[in-house]
Structure 1
């Protein structure tokens, strides 16, 4: 099948039609000319053409009518209008009806080809954007959020209801439970799904940077502000801003954010004129934000503005029926990424997965599976391979659940620390000693990452 672009030409001037047809053929396009707009519309089939070029002033049917009928059949096809009687009003009318461009007669063949190339390139970019959007919408549709437990179904039921409304949502749950995934699901199933989803981790940036990142700044607002820059709120205009670890917002930023939520406007650093944007704000925290409010370090009025609807995510150990489904999903993703053919876990290994407490929740499960697959070349991951990456705190001789002794707690903490140390070493190895990249994948801010590296005596030089 030919990869040449197919262009329909419509003009009642037979001589001009033949000229354009020949120019297009000489430049590697497939072209068919019509001197009757009525016949052209009768033969137009969606998907059969890559572009339409039509005169505006024709007997029987005007070019604007042709444009309208073509767009009714295939709304995304680029259409170039040509005319010897171009006026501003006519151009505006054609562009409003969906024309990509206007070309005034007489024109040189080079001008025609230039306009065609531009239109086709723009059409290609739009299709790539649509494809990416479809991919994102598919990725974050409810069917693609893995799990069948009652707790997850309750969460998804709530997500489905709030997605279509424009209210603020506070997502709560421990680290690794999938708070950002839920925020993305809300966005991509909302009326804002065609606009940007912008996320920021409020605990990952120092106070001075956080304010300028969120709200932007004017040139000269502070030392080093050599040019004006928009913040993430402006970048998310029309879409959604996700504030992860919102409890870490400093007081001055809380005040500015509260004003935005109330007035839909804010001040860039160094500016006196407010900027208005239309943004939905979603937020998340792994802390008890009510207690943070009581402690006086988070504004109560902001808390209620953010927490119009609360969605609380269950711990992975509270939905362990989902662990086999999640494990299969992560194995599938890794197989796709690296071309491996791991089929799953051996029965005994799967039982260990299901019995483990998963203090790091879904993120920890994902990292353990990735580590196992890096070590295991067989069809199924064995118990021996799995034991390298997780250690169960209580073996068959330990106290029953609910009767954890001090020594048992110490044993668990030691196991958790060994896992965390191994995990950080694995991430640093994966990212060739890049602490920033390792911290992002671990879901830690840089301060926490450096503290843990120091605590476990890890040297980044060993991995770079």
Structure 2
């Protein structure tokens, strides 16, 4: 179903605002009203507006200033100015500043409706061309997802498959694995890419503020609520909302979220009327939501709604072949930030990076490289430049294996491979690298 276009009527004459509101609503438009330019700009800042129909002469802020400010906030917005006076100079200035049309009162209903329809058609064509140009550049943008391991190639392929669907997506992964980057990629590759992506960290918001942040509030809803505030769901309308660490959401808000997913509506705090929204939900957590459901901390019905499609990000220790790739990516980033020209990572430092267990995952690796870039006094990152914590579980060549004399070669090979796998915490790719053989050989020798 095509979303109704939203028209903002701005006039200091209440009777004119009411007249336009009735006509435009009967024609099938969503209508917002404001009595001056300043009030209109507040509305444009808070929600999506397709077209502004404004009087030229108003107190506080007139139509020409509103035109310029509207185009600054939203370049694609169309503006039609109206006046009861023969302001030729103003008309010329308005057209130069990007107004779609400048018309003189009294207005014929058929003329104003035709002018609005044509202005909205122009806006639609502009937005479609912008979308087409993006598609010409690349069908998908995954530049910030770094990884050549089989696990990451599989993840990227799944993202490409599910991003255009519009379905709710649950991202699972330990802290620091890059869940927000995956959410960005999903939004960028979706049909809502030119719409807002609103991000909310459920873990960072105090429970007392979470409801008002997510769903907004009306003026007078509580002490200090001096103006209406739109919540994150309203700001994300027609786009995507990313709820990070959703496992930390209080149970009473889980009920309200479930209603949004089921019915597409909610009430602001202090409101009596529902607000309808069309939002794609991407959520993420480092918790085991199945366990949270079993323990009664997370609603089962909400879990099923969130879990339409699941993307699981592997921890860094399970994709060690990506570590050097990531390290070089961060090296380039922090060379630029700190005006350094470090050319690479020493062999000893690489060995330490590839054998560290990375409990903080990619975020910890990025922090380690940033520190190393700051401390390095040579053209290479050396082991001593890395944080001490990332050097503590380094595998050394001192590790030894006891093999009984006379053992068959097959048994010796199996024992060496098994002990190496223990040292690399089960990572076959790293074990193969340390032994100087292929990972395929490891599989063959152990089977």
What TM-score range do you get, normalising by the shorter chain? Answer: 0.5 to 0.7
Question: Alpha-carbon deviation of 1:391?
Answer: 2.7
- Secondary structure of residue in 2 paired with 1:164: helix
1:222-261 to 2 correspondence within 5 Å?
Answer: 222-261=222-261
Provide closer, same or farther for how the CA distance between residues 401 and 297 of structure 1 changes in structure 2, counting only shifts above 3 A.
Answer: farther
Q: Indicate the residue corresponding to 2:176 in structure 1.
A: 176
Kindly provide the CA deviation profile for residues 260-299 of structure 1, in whole angstroms up to 9, marking residues without a partner as x: 1000001111112110011000100001000000000100
Q: Is the 8 A contact 1:140 1:184 kept in 2?
A: no
Question: Alpha-carbon deviation of 1:377?
Answer: 3.5
Inter-partner Cα distance in structure 2 for 1:271 and 1:106? 44
Q: Indicate the residue corresponding to 1:325 in structure 2.
A: 325
- Secondary structure of residue in 2 paired with 1:260: helix
Inter-partner Cα distance in structure 1 for 2:78 and 2:363? 48
Q: Are positions 1:206 and 2:206 aligned together? A: yes
Q: Indicate the residue corresponding to 1:115 in structure 2.
A: 95
Kindly provide the CA deviation profile for residues 90-124 of structure 1, in whole angstroms up to 9, marking residues without a partner as x: xxxxxxxx99768999864565245314469xxxx
Kindly provide the CA deviation profile for residues 295-351 of structure 1, in whole angstroms up to 9, marking residues without a partner as x: 001000000000001111101111111111111111111223333211121121111
Q: Is the 8 A contact 2:358 2:390 kept in 1?
A: no
Question: Alpha-carbon deviation of 1:226?
Answer: 1.7
Inter-partner Cα distance in structure 1 for 2:386 and 2:324? 14
Q: Are positions 1:344 and 2:344 aligned together? A: yes
Inter-partner Cα distance in structure 2 for 1:394 and 1:344? 20
Inter-partner Cα distance in structure 1 for 2:262 and 2:226? 31
Q: Indicate the residue corresponding to 1:150 in structure 2.
A: 150
Inter-partner Cα distance in structure 2 for 1:364 and 1:99? 47
Question: Alpha-carbon deviation of 1:142?
Answer: 2.4
Provide closer, same or farther for how the CA distance between residues 337 and 139 of structure 1 changes in structure 2, counting only shifts above 3 A.
Answer: farther
Q: Are positions 1:358 and 2:338 aligned together? A: no
Question: Alpha-carbon deviation of 1:392?
Answer: 2.2
Stretches of structure 2 that go unaligned for 5 or more consecutive residues are: 1-76, 101-125, 401-418, 424-447
Q: Indicate the residue corresponding to 1:77 in structure 2.
A: none
Provide closer, same or farther for how the CA distance between residues 230 and 373 of structure 1 changes in structure 2, counting only shifts above 3 A.
Answer: same
Q: Indicate the residue corresponding to 1:63 in structure 2.
A: none
Q: Is the 8 A contact 1:368 1:389 kept in 2?
A: no
Provide closer, same or farther for how the CA distance between residues 398 and 291 of structure 1 changes in structure 2, counting only shifts above 3 A.
Answer: farther
- Secondary structure of residue in 1 paired with 2:166: coil
Stretches of structure 1 that go unaligned for 5 or more consecutive residues are: 1-97, 121-125, 405-464
Q: Is the 8 A contact 2:81 2:99 kept in 1?
A: no
Q: Is the 8 A contact 1:372 1:389 kept in 2?
A: no
Inter-partner Cα distance in structure 1 for 2:151 and 2:208? 39
- Secondary structure of residue in 1 paired with 2:159: helix
Q: Are positions 1:316 and 2:316 aligned together? A: yes
Question: Alpha-carbon deviation of 1:378?
Answer: 2.2
Inter-partner Cα distance in structure 1 for 2:382 and 2:211? 49
Question: Alpha-carbon deviation of 1:398?
Answer: 6.7
Provide closer, same or farther for how the CA distance between residues 228 and 398 of structure 1 changes in structure 2, counting only shifts above 3 A.
Answer: farther
Inter-partner Cα distance in structure 2 for 1:377 and 1:276? 58
- Secondary structure of residue in 1 paired with 2:319: helix
- Secondary structure of residue in 1 paired with 2:386: helix
Kindly provide the CA deviation profile for residues 200-241 of structure 1, in whole angstroms up to 9, marking residues without a partner as x: 111111111011100001112122212211100000001000
Q: Is the 8 A contact 1:345 1:381 kept in 2?
A: yes
Inter-partner Cα distance in structure 2 for 1:145 and 1:276? 34
Provide closer, same or farther for how the CA distance between residues 380 and 280 of structure 1 changes in structure 2, counting only shifts above 3 A.
Answer: same
Q: Are positions 1:271 and 2:251 aligned together? A: no
Provide closer, same or farther for how the CA distance between residues 99 and 191 of structure 1 changes in structure 2, counting only shifts above 3 A.
Answer: closer
Q: Indicate the residue corresponding to 2:112 in structure 1.
A: none
**Root-mean-square deviation (Å):** 3.3
Provide closer, same or farther for how the CA distance between residues 229 and 210 of structure 1 changes in structure 2, counting only shifts above 3 A.
Answer: same
Provide closer, same or farther for how the CA distance between residues 401 and 247 of structure 1 changes in structure 2, counting only shifts above 3 A.
Answer: farther
1:440-455 to 2 correspondence within 5 Å?
Answer: none
Q: TM-score, normalised by structure 1?
A: 0.59
Q: Is the 8 A contact 1:138 1:144 kept in 2?
A: no
Provide closer, same or farther for how the CA distance between residues 260 and 109 of structure 1 changes in structure 2, counting only shifts above 3 A.
Answer: closer
- Secondary structure of residue in 2 paired with 1:390: helix
- Secondary structure of residue in 2 paired with 1:200: strand
Provide closer, same or farther for how the CA distance between residues 351 and 140 of structure 1 changes in structure 2, counting only shifts above 3 A.
Answer: farther
